[in-house]
Amino acid sequence: MLCKVSTSIEKQIMLLQFIVFDFDGVFTDNLVYISESGRESVVCNRSDGLGLSKIKGLNIPMYVISTEKNPVVTHRCKKLEIDCIQGCDNKLTTLNQLLLKLNINIENVAYVGNDVNDQECLQSVGLPIVVKDAHPDVLDLAQYTTKKLGGHGAVREVCDLIYNARSS
């Protein structure tokens, strides 16, 4: 299913040089499962990996920036071959440091988030995106809101949106 987007979003997609994702609530449904031994696990959507592969084919760098420090984030990102930074107290500071290192203007960045710890990044980037079930405090910050819920193909939807706009 192709999503119809405004001309301004299409123009912003054409300028993208970097895509950043939050992890919990974007790649996952924002739930955590804890076993009797205290081991945490989450559920991710397999189709996200295929979407990320499309973006890699466009040579747009991607990162995951997560407040949480959890081995599950490391393992999933490693499998998806996407760089991640965890344990960030201030995601915008981390994002700005990455952009300085990569020589990318923040206006040429898409950020996909879901909660108040993503607020500053969503307010600062050129293409702020939130998942359908994002916290109400960040919904109005988005230029694009996914049709899919976090953890249920929202990452794939974003990737398809960008890929289709850049490939047409």
- What is the arithmetic mean of pLDDT over 77-95? 96
How remote is the C-alpha of 23 from its chain's centroid? Answer: 7
- What is the arithmetic mean of pLDDT over 37-51? 94
The per-residue pLDDT for range 59-69, each reduced to its tens digit, is 999 999 999 89
The per-residue pLDDT for range 125-151, each reduced to its tens digit, is 999 999 999 999 999 999 999 999 999
* CATH numbers and ranges of domains, the chain: 7-167 (3.40.50.1000)
What is the pLDDT at residue 3?
Answer: 59
Q: Is the full-model pTM beyond 0.85?
A: yes
Neighbours of 91 (CB within 10 A): 23
Kindly give, in sequence order, each residue whose CB lies less than 8 Å from that of residue 13, ignoring residues fewer than 6 positions away. 5, 110, 127, 161, 162, 165, 166
| Cα separation, 107 vs 45, whole angstroms | 29
pLDDT at 70 over 80: yes
List the single range of 32-41, 95-104, 114-123 with lowest mean pLDDT. 32-41
